[in-house]
Amino acid sequence: MAEQATFYERIGGQTAVTTLAHQFYDVMQRDSIARDVLEMHPDDLTRSRKRLANYLCEWFGGPKLFGQPYVNPDWLKRRHQHLSIGVDARDQWMHCMTTAMRELNYDLQLQQDLTKVFFELAGFMRTRV
Ligand code: HEM
């Protein structure tokens, strides 16, 4: 049986994954609905963009740019522990990601599949109700 394509392959490789991370932060900077999440970030998003791109590459089955063994949900949660993340922040984060995928014209099946895994991980990042 043929192996299932990874998200990394389905998105279109490293350049496409990097584009997604940039579009995500472009939406966050543009859409006032994501104001609270934007305010949690540093003014200069250069590092955040790069870290997210590298994380996504590795998490989705591409090159290990982020550095093992750190791409796991528990580690990521610890990196968010100092933030106040409730359902509002989770939904703002999801708004940025789902909007980014839509604006990049991902096919609907890919949008649905990615939304599911992003939503699970974003929910896990919550530090309060
Ligand atoms: C659910 C709501 C979330 C909020 C409010 C949030 C917010 C933040 C903030 C403020 C930072 C610090 C940025 C910086 O200092 O440059 C950060 C870092 C990061 N976030 Fe999130 N995040 C959320 C969910 C997620 C999810 C679901 C992922 C992965 C898909 C993710 C991936 C990352 C990565 C990789 C970093 C860099 C970690 C590091 O190097 O320390 N975040 N996040």
Distance CA 80, CA 70 (A): 14
**1 falls within a domain:** no
**pLDDT recorded at residue 4:** 86
Answer yes or no: is 56 within a domain.
yes
Quote the domain boundaries for residue 70.
Answer: 13-124
Q: Could you identify the atom of ligand 1 that is nearest to the CA of residue 59?
A: 30
Residue 7 has pLDDT above 90, yes or no: yes
In a domain, 107, yes or no: yes
CA–centroid distance, residue 44 to ligand 1 (Å): 14
CATH number of 86's domain: 1.10.490.10
Residue 86 belongs to some domain of the structure: yes
Tell me whether residue 50 is in a domain: yes
Query: Helix (H, G, I), strand (E, B), or coil: what is residue 30?
Result: helix
Binding-site residues, ligand 1, Cβ < 6 A? 37, 40-42, 47-48, 51-52, 55, 76, 79-80, 83, 85, 89-90, 93, 118, 121-122, 125
What mean pLDDT comes out for the span 18-41?
98
How many Å lie between the centroid of ligand 1 and the Cα of residue 80?
6
Please indicate, yes or no, if residue 3 is contained in any of the structural domains: no
More confident residue, 112 or 2: 112
Three-class SS string for 66-96?
CCCCCCCHHHHHHHHCCCCCCHHHHHHHHHH
Q: How many distinct structural domains can be found in the chain?
A: 1
Tell whether 2 is covered by a domain: no
pLDDT single digits (tens) 55-92 = 999 999 999 988 766 788 999 999 999 999 999 999 99
The model's pTM is: 0.94
118 in any annotated domain: yes
Cβ-based neighbours of 52, under 8 Å, separated by 6 or more:
21, 24, 25
- Scanning the structure block, which residue is given the tokens 């990097």? 18
Burial class (CB in 10 A: 0-12, 13-18, 19+), 16: middle
